[in-house]
Amino acid sequence: MSNYKRIKGTKDIFGDEINYWYYVENSAKNTLEKYGFKEIRTPIIESEELFSRGVGQETDIVQKEMYTFEDKKGRLLTLRPEGTASVVRAYIENSLINLGSPQKFFYIGPMFRYEKPQSGRYREFYQIGAEIFGTDYPLADAELIHLLHEFFRSLKLTNFKIKINSIGTQKSREKYKKVLKEYYTPFLPNLCEDCQRRYNTNIMRLIDCKIDKEIASNAPSILDYLDNESKEHFEKLKKYLDILEVPYEIDPKIVRGLDYYSKTAFEVEHLDLGEQAVIAGGGRYDDLVEQLGGPKTPAVGFAMGIERIIEALKKEHIEVKKVSQIDVYIAYQGEQAELESIKLSKELRKNDIKTYLNLSKRNLGGQLKHADRLNAKLSIIMGDEEVVNDVVTVRNMETGEQTKVQRSWVIEVILEKLQEFY
Ligand code: ATP
Ligand code: MG
């Protein structure tokens, strides 16, 4: 046993589990490209300030979840806890606005948050996110929500719900925050610890508290306090979603944890996941680019958690394709057979056949057992006898059936036999 253990809240991903990751990531790229999104890759480390300014001083992320450390020159760096602030920074720093507006970006990668590890909540986890910069048009919001719906359907998920809300512009929220504070004041001494803190720092978050649910359910609704601009935006969004035939619910309790949202906020909840059920969340953030030093640029985006999506796939018993099955295992014995096998492996791979050339000193029987464990579809067996007769033996690993094939016909025969497996 090694003395080294992975860090709490992180995981190793391998074996059959990888099939799920390919399934989700490839489908996501596919869908995102259908909507005109281009990938952006940003660094995993950024300056601490980007997040304390961008995500917001009073958010859970900045208050208690960030991995922040000093580098050797005493600079304060943070392992990114989310993707949006980084993409905004890159957009400003690289003057991407010059490429014309609007622009659509997506990213896939690990995020880091110091949270209490539990099911659906890790310290290193992966997000797929998308952002649209440079349009305040509610059709952009609708397109993102439609995309999420199409994506989850493309994964064959069915047991999920899309919830939308409007949290108004920052200005229109001031009135609502006052009303909310008044509503909560009599309950204050009995609220949970988080709510007591947020009462002063981030009053909106009280209405999505998972502990004081009852009090939250009777709280005044943000939708009764929207200004005309936000109202109109929300009405249009709903109209577009109807036209796109996206099923949704309106939920005035969705406020999102991040400071930078305005107008539209939305979440996708999976109904089999229990406590950590939100598989995607997003919204509009019309002030963030300017707040981080860029030109005034309205924007909207979402992020989804890959681990939770995979958990949802398992709950719904959705089978995913095995992506890395080996087509042909080459087993050989004897010096001449080895040299022939090496040549053959090169030919097979040139023909896009997934080939595993034996790399051990095991005997033929042992090699075939190995081929079995690797789940190879076919094996090629090459011994002295085969070399002498200029043939190879091809074995179907599923049925055990073996045939002798002329050396010069091997590629053709293999390609034909592989057809039977699709
Ligand atoms: P939660 O309310 O569950 O803490 P959040 O509001 O902090 O979520 P976001 O910052 O909006 O989440 O991140 C978007 C998505 O990323 C979430 O909906 C979830 O699927 C995923 N996610 C967030 N935090 C974690 C985590 N610690 N482990 C795994 N997935 C996570
Ligand atoms: Mg969180």
**CB of 322 within 8 A of CB of 284?**
no
- Burial of residue 98 (CB within 10 Å: 0-12, 13-18, 19+) is exposed
How many angstroms is it from 72 CA to the middle of ligand 2?
30
How many angstroms is it from 264 CA to the middle of ligand 2?
19
Going by the DSSP 8-state scheme, the letter that residue 185 receives in this structure is G
Q: How confident is the model over 237-255, as pLDDT tens digits?
A: 999 999 999 999 999 999 8
Query: Who contacts 388 (Cβ-Cβ below 8 Å, separation ≥6)?
Result: none
Residue with the smallest CA separation from ligand 1 atom 9 is 281
- In this structure, which ligand is nearest to the CA of 282? 1
How does residue 257 score in pLDDT terms, banded at 50, 70 and 90? low
Give the number of other CB atoms < 10 A from CB of residue 31: 21
> How much is the average pLDDT of 283-295?
95
Q: What radius of gyration, in Å, describes the C-alpha atoms of the chain? A: 28
Least confident of 105-109, 260-264, 315-319: 260-264
3-state secondary structure 294-353: CCCCCEEEEEEEHHHHHHHHHHCCCCCCCCCCCCEEEEECCHHHHHHHHHHHHHHHHCCC
Query: Who contacts 195 (Cβ-Cβ below 8 Å, separation ≥6)?
Result: 184, 206, 209, 211, 212
Q: In which region does residue 9 sit, left (phi positive, over 0), alpha (psi from -120 to 50) or beta (all else)?
A: left
pLDDT of 1 > 80? The answer is: no
**CB of 254 within 8 A of CB of 55?**
no
pLDDT of 122 > 80? The answer is: yes
Q: How confident is the model over 40-70, as pLDDT tens digits?
A: 999 999 999 999 999 888 888 998 999 999 9
| Span 328-421 CATH architecture | 3-Layer(aba) Sandwich (3.40)
**CB of 65 within 8 A of CB of 30?**
no
Percentage of residues of the chain with pLDDT beyond 70: 99
Ligand 1, atom nearest to 61 Cα: 7
Closest CA to 163 of 255, 259, 286: 255
- Residue 374: the pLDDT is 93
Q: 270: Cβ below 6 Å to ligand 1? A: no
Q: How confident is the model over 370-402, as pLDDT tens digits?
A: 999 999 999 999 999 999 999 999 999 999 999
How far apart, in whole angstroms, are the C-alpha atoms of residue 185 and residue 195?
11
How far apart, in whole angstroms, are the C-alpha atoms of residue 253 and residue 219?
9
How far apart, in whole angstroms, are the C-alpha atoms of residue 124 and residue 144?
25
**CB of 88 within 8 A of CB of 54?**
yes
**CB of 40 within 8 A of CB of 90?**
yes
Q: How confident is the model over 334-372, as pLDDT tens digits?
A: 999 999 999 999 999 999 999 999 999 999 999 999 999
Q: How confident is the model over 186-227, as pLDDT tens digits?
A: 999 999 988 898 898 888 889 888 788 888 889 999 999 999
- Residue 316: the pLDDT is 98
Going by the DSSP 8-state scheme, the letter that residue 6 receives in this structure is P
- Residue 259: the pLDDT is 66
Written as one letter, the residue type at 145 is I
Q: 308: Cβ below 6 Å to ligand 1? A: yes
* Domain residue spans of the chain: 17-169+227-315, 328-421
51's enclosing H/E stretch is: helix 48-54
How far apart, in whole angstroms, are the C-alpha atoms of residue 195 and residue 200?
9
pLDDT of 258 > 70? The answer is: no
How far apart, in whole angstroms, are the C-alpha atoms of residue 6 and residue 18?
18
- Residue 422: the pLDDT is 67
What CATH code would you report for 17-169+227-315?
3.30.930.10
Closest CA to 43 of 102, 95, 112, 97: 112
End-to-end CA distance of the chain: 41
Residue with the smallest CA separation from ligand 1 atom 22 is 305
Q: How confident is the model over 124-147, as pLDDT tens digits?
A: 999 999 999 999 999 999 999 999
How does residue 329 score in pLDDT terms, banded at 50, 70 and 90? very high
Percentage of residues of the chain with pLDDT beyond 90: 85
How many angstroms is it from 61 CA to the middle of ligand 2?
7
Q: Mean pLDDT for the chain? A: 95
Ligand 1, atom nearest to 303 Cα: 14
Q: Please indicate whether the domains covering 17-169+227-315 and 328-421 agree at the CATH topology level.
A: no
